[in-house]
Amino acid sequence: MPKDNLEGTVAKLDELQSLDADAVKKDQEFKSLFKYKSVAAMLLKYAVPDFDKYTVQEIADSIKDISERSPANDAERYHSEIDMLNIEIGDAGEKVIRLDRLFLLQFEVKLPDKKEIYLINFTINFEMQGEKPTEYELVKRGVYYGASMLRDTIKSKDDYGKIHKVITIWLCNFEFLDETKRSGRYVHRYNLLRNYEEDGKWFYLKDSEADLIEVVFIELKKLSEHMQDDLAKFLDAAFNNIGGLSKLMEEKLGVAINDTELEKGVGEVIDMVKYGEVKKVEGKIEGKIEGKIETALNLLKSGLLTLKQIAQNTGLREEDILEAKAKLKEEK
């Protein structure tokens, strides 16, 4: 099939509903979506218990801006791009890490009968992990990222009271737990806990003062098994059905993504995935043609069939078979 015809056929598909999930899961596509406030807010709302009490709008509004902004409306405000923090952490002699997404949340809280407004900060990191590492356990790396982020919450002259909680979320395109540890869950959380021994048994409790690092791993391969969850619905739209993301955003935030920065991000994903889909289809067609040519050359070599019969049986043109034969002879 000529390339022009192939691209025309693919263009006729419903590009918003039939995208290639594997292409979306690549880092570039991940970064095209998860750099926007509303998308980040949706993930935090449904993946981290700390944000259960907040609306998606409140979380999006709490993502701290570094540069000054003047959004014209709610849609521009919620669907704007996040001002990222420095994504490289570590000094000379240390294990330097480079994060995918890193930003700050800042909630304003006014206590009852108090005039002062307190700020509650969270440093947030999103990571896309395409393959499961074989040389180490991913939990160790996640905890190390969290610890590195925690150290960066205060500066050299700050007192320890300014330390705030850090959260790192890993979207894993593989089965996070092996067969011996499977629990049927697709979200796995790791926190700092308080533990002590009493009557020969260990008790593990969450301590508010120690609750400074949370590492969350989400298995994208298991989303279809948990579509009753808001988190699974959201991630499925982001990674498997990009056309449904716009509708979901409008439903949860009350504003559409039209004419916003997020719409551009969704467009980028569509273009990248569509191109990947075209290349995939082209590859399949080329593979089939190569297989037919190989079969034709073998039949021609055997002398059992005429050139015309071989062409009829393989669906190839006689001149294509002769051209392939001549090319093979030149290569030898």
Which of 1-15, 49-63, 81-95, 97-111 has maximum average pLDDT? 49-63
Banded pLDDT at 19 (limits 50, 70, 90): very low
Across the chain, the runs of DSSP E, i.e. the strands, are 88-89, 97-98, 101-110, 117-129, 165-172, 187-191, 193-198, 201-206, 213-219
Across the chain, what does the average pLDDT equal? 81
CB neighbour list of residue 274: distance below 8 Å, 6 or more residues apart: 10, 11, 15, 19
Chain segment 49-73, per-residue pLDDT in tens: 999 999 999 999 999 999 988 888 9
**Cα distance between residue 252 and residue 160, in whole Å:** 37
Say whether 193 sits in a helix, a strand or coil.
strand
Q: Sketch the domain layout of the chain as residue ranges.
A: 34-259
Contact 300, 310 (CB under 8 A): yes
What is the residue type of 227?
M
Chain segment 197-246, per-residue pLDDT in tens: 766 667 677 778 889 999 999 999 899 999 999 999 999 988 888 878 88
